[in-house]
């Protein structure tokens, strides 16, 4: 999705548990002299203690969307509000959407995948999640806390001053198991350079897989988290039809449990790499650049999800090879 | 850049063009023929004697909705600042002499931080309905008091429409459309249940049918009072506009709808069981922003992002294409007598066309 032409406005989705430091981060973004006009959509107007014309209050209204064979949820208020805001030219250069601490971030992200008006005007930039290094321990049992980490492209491991170095190591390792794709930054007071926050282009298909090679090569961790991420790396060519059947069946049956998915594929008979990404049951893909001469043609897929049967997925994927 | 349609017919010719500083969000005609318009920069203007008179200057927040009361005595505007402003009597001029008093701001209802993005006057009295988050407030301009606040509850209010007889008001949002009776505001609303959200809703001119365009790319049409709605599908995207013709070719008025760049016109078959059948109109290659039937004929106007304003004769074929908004049209309105058409553009253009003498006999 989301061709990054100059006409689209990038949007950052900001998530994090209550008290993790989202508001502090929002205030930094709003006051930082980055020369960008940033509009912020918040859930609780009072939370952002800043007088800014471009802070807009939103209700977290979830619309169910049953569209042919896929069923997903979107944030209806975002469509209304952004549609209204986008009429005025040059009103803002970047949009930040804050979700409340107890919200599933999926409906926000899906809104930009599904809605034809949003797709033309808005380009998802990244999901940024602020994690309270100390208090996250009390929240692991909450689905929202895990999903916020699972969906993230950028994670601020915040309030590092409140935990011991050893606790921090363990926490970071646990988060990496859950989400091997996200860039993790250790922060205090949500202090992080704007370059790491805004303009990340994590959803840009042209940069679909800038995955840490270490993650791709890593062996399975010995953690027993229900939310985890893993990569499939296979050489060889894929049978386009088999791949299609497998993917559509997978998304229909496991879509609810797949949070994020990305991949570069080598499809038989095609000279170009095929790149794709997905959020739950929504998938977006396109042919990318041609394979270079001498480049090893291979397939790389990354899954982040809950209760995913890694062995089965690996085996099923291999069945799609020619 | 006006006048010559695909068949060389001139139905309407440009009478005047002016501009606002930003995207024109709404245009409205009162019964007496003067025009008002609003912009995303927050301007409200009225057009008189070929000049634009500013009722509200540009600011930081947009005005999103604008409407004249049925008797033309009041003009109301709402927008991002949460204020509903009501002006009394637009000044009218005759032979250069002012006949009535200036447009005077008589009320400014503050609802910040809510946005007011939908408003409509009752078709029978001076009651104004406007959206307020998950509520709709009904305000009486004669007594200048709030009459009631209707809780839509399910979601923000996405659209509202008075029944033409003034006896009820339909409010659309997530879960469908709720219809409140104006006779007893405290009565529970009648729910037209939908599996998704209803984004637009419109009553037929005779008040017999209510249509709603839904988030799951369907249209629901209900003969009001009947428990069984018709469902229409097959659209490429959300339904962004719905409009009913004033009179139909046979037993029911025509319903036109737009979805992205496509238009479908539905005609009811004589037998209820045969339902409604659609005729697809293709012209635009970008999103249609406004679609409106002429108030007395089957002439249909469609205004789109592609900078074309199509006039469809008998709601079937392109009779004329009007231009003048380089980066696309945003809104349009027919004057009450149908002799003039106004459209707003995304770069602030405001254009008025009037019926061509030679163009008689359409529709």
The residue ranges of every structural domain in chain A are 9-204, 215-319
Give domain status of residue B162, yes or no.
yes
Domain CATH for B348:
2.130.10.10
Test A66 with B195 for CB contact under 8 angstroms.
Answer: yes
Test A116 with B330 for CB contact under 8 angstroms.
Answer: no
* Residues sharing a CB contact under 8 Å with residue B119, sequence separation 6 or more, in sequence order: B65, B66, B67, B76, B77, B78, B84, B128, B129, B130, B131, B160
Domains A9-204 and A215-319 share a fold: no
Give domain status of residue B7, yes or no.
no
Give domain status of residue B6, yes or no.
no
The whole-model pTM stands at: 0.90
Provide the pLDDT for residue B363.
46
Of B133, B195, B260, the CB nearest to A116: B260
CA distance A116 to A111: 9
Provide the pLDDT for residue A48.
54
CA distance A258 to B270: 50
* Residues sharing a CB contact under 8 Å with residue B324, sequence separation 6 or more, in sequence order: B1, B2, B14, B17, B307, B309, B343, B345, B349, B351
Picking from A261, A240, A258, A256, the residue whose alpha carbon sits closest to that of residue A70 is A256
Burial of B193 (0-12, 13-18, 19+ CB in 10 A): exposed
Test A59 with B155 for CB contact under 8 angstroms.
Answer: yes
Under-70 pLDDT residues of chain B: 1-8, 33, 90-101, 248-250, 358-363
A67 vs B: CB within 8 A: yes
Test B60 with A53 for CB contact under 8 angstroms.
Answer: yes
Give domain status of residue B20, yes or no.
yes
Test A84 with B196 for CB contact under 8 angstroms.
Answer: no
Provide the pLDDT for residue B2.
44
pLDDT, tens only, B277-295: 999 999 999 999 999 999 9
Picking from B189, B225, B219, B192, the residue whose alpha carbon sits closest to that of residue B207 is B225
pLDDT, tens only, B297-313: 999 999 999 999 999 99
Provide the pLDDT for residue B273.
82
Burial of B304 (0-12, 13-18, 19+ CB in 10 A): buried
Residue carrying structure tokens 């008091």: B145
- B20, B38, B174: which to substitute to probe chain A, counting the most A Cβ within 10 Å? B174
Picking from A279, A285, A248, the residue whose alpha carbon sits closest to that of residue A265 is A285
CA distance B195 to B193: 7
Could you tell me the residue range of the domain that residue B59 belongs to? 12-358
- pLDDT class for A44, splitting at 50, 70, 90? low
A170 vs B: CB within 8 A: no
Return mean pLDDT, chain B: 91
Using a CB-CB cut-off of 8 Å, the residues of chain B touching A84 are: 62, 64, 80, 115, 117
Of B40, B134, B197, the CB nearest to A87: B40
Provide the pLDDT for residue A1.
38
CATH entry, A215-319, from 3.30.1220.10, 3.40.50.300, 3.10.450.50, 3.20.20.210: 3.30.1220.10
ipTM, interface predicted TM-score of the complex: 0.90
Provide the pLDDT for residue A224.
60
Return mean pLDDT, chain A: 87
Provide the pLDDT for residue B157.
97
CA distance B330 to B186: 37
Picking from A139, A141, A175, the residue whose alpha carbon sits closest to that of residue A155 is A175
**For A33, which DSSP code?**
-
Quote the number of domains for chain B: 1
Provide the pLDDT for residue B251.
77
More confident residue, B93 or A194: A194
Give domain status of residue B265, yes or no.
yes
Provide the pLDDT for residue B99.
54
Q: What is the CATH number of domain A9-204?
A: 3.40.50.300
Min Cα distance A287 → chain B (Å) is 23
Min Cα distance A122 → chain B (Å) is 16
Q: With a cut of 70, say whether residue A248 has pLDDT above it.
A: yes
Residue of B nearest to A111 (CA): B215
Of B23, B197, B260, the CB nearest to A88: B23
Test B62 with A87 for CB contact under 8 angstroms.
Answer: yes
Q: With a cut of 60, say whether residue A222 has pLDDT above it.
A: no
A237 vs B: CB within 8 A: no
Contact, B301 vs B332, CB < 8 A?
yes
CA distance A84 to A78: 10
Q: With a cut of 70, say whether residue A205 has pLDDT above it.
A: yes
* Cα distance from N-terminal residue to C-terminal residue, chain B: 23
Provide the pLDDT for residue B240.
95
Min Cα distance B39 → chain A (Å) is 9
């Amino acid at each position: 999705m989301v061709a990054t032409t100059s006409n689209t406005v990038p949007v950052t989705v900001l998530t994090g548990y209550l008290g993790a430091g989202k508001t502090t981060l929002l205030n930094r973004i709003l006051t930082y002299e980055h020369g960008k006009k940033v509009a912020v959509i918040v859930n609780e107007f009072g939370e952002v203690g800043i007088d800014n014309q471009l802070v807009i209050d939103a209700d977290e209204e979830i619309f169910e969307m049953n569209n042919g064979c896929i069923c997903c949820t979107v944030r209806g208020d975002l469509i209304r509000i952004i549609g209204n805001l986008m009429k005025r030219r040059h009103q803002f250069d970047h949009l930040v959407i804050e979700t409340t601490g107890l919200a599933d971030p999926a409906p926000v992200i899906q809104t930009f995948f599904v809605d034809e008006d949003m797709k033309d005007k808005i380009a998802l930039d990244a999901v940024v999640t602020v994690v309270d290094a100390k208090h996250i321990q009390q929240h692991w049992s909450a689905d929202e806390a895990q999903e916020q980490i699972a969906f993230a492209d950028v994670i601020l491991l915040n309030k590092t001053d409140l935990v011991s170095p050893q606790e921090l190591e363990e926490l970071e390792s646990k988060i990496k198991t859950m989400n091997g794709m996200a860039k993790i930054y250790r922060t205090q007071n949500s202090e992080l350079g704007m370059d790491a926050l805004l303009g990340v282009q994590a959803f840009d298909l042209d940069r679909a897989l800038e995955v840490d090679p270490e993650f791709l090569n890593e062996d399975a961790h010995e953690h027993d988290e229900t939310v985890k991420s893993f990569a499939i790396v296979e050489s060889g060519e894929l049978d386009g039809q088999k791949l299609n059947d497998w993917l559509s069946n997978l998304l229909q049956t496991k879509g609810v449990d797949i949070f994020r998915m990305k991949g570069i594929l080598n499809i038989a008979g095609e000279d170009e790499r095929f790149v794709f990404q997905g959020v739950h049951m929504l998938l977006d893909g396109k042919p990318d650049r041609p394979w270079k001469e001498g480049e090893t043609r291979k397939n790389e897929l990354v899954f982040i999800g809950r209760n995913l049967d890694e062995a089965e997925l690996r085996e099923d994927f291999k069945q799609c090879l020619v | 850049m006006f006048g010559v349609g695909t068949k060389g017919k001139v139905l309407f010719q440009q009478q005047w063009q002016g501009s606002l500083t930003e995207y024109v969000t709404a245009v409205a005609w009162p019964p007496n023929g003067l025009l008002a318009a609003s912009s995303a920069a927050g301007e409200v203007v009225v057009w008189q004697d070929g000049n634009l008179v500013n009722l509200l200057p540009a600011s930081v927040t947009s005005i999103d909705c604008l409407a004249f009361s049925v008797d033309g005595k009041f003009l109301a505007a709402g927008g991002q600042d949460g204020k509903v402003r009501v002006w009394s009597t637009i000044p009218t001029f005759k032979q250069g002499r002012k006949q009535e008093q200036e447009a005077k701001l008589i009320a400014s209802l503050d609802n910040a931080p809510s946005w007011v993005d939908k408003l409509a006057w009752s078709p029978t009295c001076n009651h104004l309905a406007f959206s307020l988050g998950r509520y709709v407030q009904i305000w009486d301009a004669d007594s200048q008091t709030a009459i009631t606040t209707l809780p839509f509850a399910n979601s923000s209010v996405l659209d509202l429409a008075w029944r033409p007889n003034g006896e009820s008001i339909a409010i659309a949002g997530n879960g469908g459309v709720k219809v409140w009776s104006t006779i007893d505001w405290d009565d529970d609303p009648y729910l037209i249940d939908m599996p998704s959200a209803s984004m637009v809703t419109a009553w037929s001119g005779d008040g017999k049918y209510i249509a709603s365009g839904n988030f799951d790319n369907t249209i629901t049409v209900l003969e009001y009072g009947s428990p069984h709605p018709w469902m229409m599908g097959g659209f490429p995207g959300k339904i962004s506009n719905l409009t009913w013709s004033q009179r139909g070719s046979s037993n029911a008025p025509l319903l036109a709808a737009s979805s992205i760049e496509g238009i479908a016109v539905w005609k009811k078959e004589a037998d209820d069981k045969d339902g409604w059948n659609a005729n697809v109109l293709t012209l635009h290659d970008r999103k249609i922003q406004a679609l409106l039937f002429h108030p007395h004929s089957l002439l249909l106007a469609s205004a789109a992002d592609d900078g074309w304003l199509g006039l469809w004769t008998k709601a079937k074929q392109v009779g004329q294409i009007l231009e003048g908004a380089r980066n696309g049209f945003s809104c349009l309105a027919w004057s009450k007598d149908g002799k003039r058409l106004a459209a707003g553009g995304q770069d602030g253009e405001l254009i008025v066309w009037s019926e061509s003498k030679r163009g008689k006999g359409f529709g």
